[in-house]
Structure 1
Amino acid sequence: MLAFARRLVKDEGVEKIEFTKTLASYRAARDAVTVVDVPKMRYLMVDGHGDPNSAGFITAIEALYPVAYALKFYSRATLERDYVVPPLEALWWADDMSAFTTARDKSKWHWTVMLMLPEWIDEAEVPRQVERVRAKRAAARLDDVRLGSLDEGRCAQVLHVGAFDDEGGILRQMHEEYLPQHGLRPSGRHHEIYLSDFRRVAPEKQRTILRQPVESAGLRAADHDERIR
């Protein structure tokens, strides 16, 4: 199990953990690609396809957050372990990855939106909290919320500050320059971590970690789906 380091924040006698400040995998250098080792983690997930500016992407996110907060409140009240709900994350891929890294043809993109779930919350609690959310409010894709794990291991990542549509340059640099120069190749799905709330932050100020799982170019190509359960 992942041993989470703690940043303790006193909040009415309950310790609160902020994972973005305690986990190295939530830190990256701006416009400079680095390699990090990412531990296996669990996430609440919803899958989808197509343009992220579409209603389908938004409804997926709207299904995730009520469940994430229900689990947070359960953890605080029942387990006496509080935490800040981690930032929204997403996996992105296409049958032809040039549609993502070069052509940026959003109609051909596949995605999985995710919120990390702390290790101490039992997986059996997820469906119980989904039902509690269902009883209180309607969420279009609540039935699609699932618990999955991601074991990315060695990853190249960089902090991008700016609009999502401006990611192409740094992605090309990562895939066409940095990885070949360091004897690496992609071995999993493109991963983004949204440190800014894109609903409230101006595009030019948005902070996004761009992550790519990698392996040695001398190894046999990995089965990408093996990293996602």
Structure 2
Amino acid sequence: MSLDRKTELDCYRARKGEFRVVDVPSLTYLAVDGRGDPNTSPAYAEALGALYPVAYTLRFAGKALGHDEVVMPLEALWWSDDMATFTTSRDKSRWSWTAMILAPTWVDDSALADAVAAVTRKKDRPVGLERVTLRTLHEGPCMQTLHVGPYDDEGPVLARMHDHEIPAAGLRMTGHHHEIYLGDPRRTAPERLRTILRQPVERGSD
């Protein structure tokens, strides 16, 4: 039976219209850093083009070792010097990002190096393989909700989370905005895309 951590980790559950605080455990990801509009930046396309081959190579390597884990959804951290670029202006050219896929539980730096080397040997070697690293995040308490619809319609949901739901819960934002993409935009109509929107938080000062 394949291990699918989406069904086992509470932090991969969210409902539309529900803003819930979850405790995100320490998790390790395959990660690539970059900056710029994900719709037009070659760096973002290259990041995804490197992450997926490495992730699937690790899955097949794991199966040979007795670790049968599915490839997890694409995720990304997003940040900017001006958070209004997320909620109001949506000026994506000012965004910085880390594109990520949750790493299999058994993977270490040596396994990643082996996977990158295996993908490098392929005839259609993707660009940017050397940028893929293992990254461990300690997000802890986070508020999250489910957005259903086009990515560009997230602004009002994020504004509600940042300006109302988080302060109303006596919390304040920390860390980077985090998105988990549960739908494939190449195969899913924009109005049916499902994205978990997550924001690390901490208890606000009294």
Q: Please, what TM-score do these two structures have when normalized by structure 2?
A: 0.96
Q: Which residue of 2 aligns with 1:196?
A: 183
Question: Which structure 1 segments of 5+ residues have no match?
Answer: 1-14, 220-229
**Which stretch of structure 1 is more off in the superposition, 148-157 or 99-108?**
99-108
**1:38-187, aligned counterparts within 5 Å?**
38-54=24-40, 55-77=42-64, 79-136=65-122, 137-187=124-174
RMSD across aligned positions (CA): 1.1
**Matched residue SS, 2:11:** helix
Task: Tell me how far apart the structure 1 counterparts of residues 49 and 203 of structure 2 sit (CA, whole Å).
Answer: 38
Whichever residue aligns with residue 153 of structure 2, its letter is: D
What is the rounded CA distance, in whole Å, between the counterparts of 1:119 and 1:217 in structure 2? 33
CA-CA distance at 1:31 after TM superposition: 1.9
How much does 1:101 deviate? 2.2
Alpha-carbon contact 2:144-2:198 (below 8 Å) kept: yes
Which structure has the higher relative contact order (CA within 8 Å, separation 6+)?
A: 2
Query: How far 1:212 moved relative to its partner?
Result: 0.2
The answer to which of 39-48 and 53-62 deviates more is 53-62
**AA partner of residue 127 (structure 1):** A
- The reply to whether residue 37 of structure 1 matches residue 37 of structure 2 is no
Mapped to 1, the partners of 2:66 and 2:188 lie a distance apart of 32
- Moved beyond 3 Å, runs of 4+: none
Count of residues in Structure 1 that have an aligned counterpart in Structure 2: 204
Q: Unpaired segments of 5 or more residues in structure 2?
A: none
Q: Which amino acid aligns with 2:63?
A: R
User: What TM-score does the superposition give when structure 1 sets the normalisation length?
Assistant: 0.87
> 1:86 offset after TM fit, Å?
0.4
Deviation at 1:20, TM superposition (A): 1.1
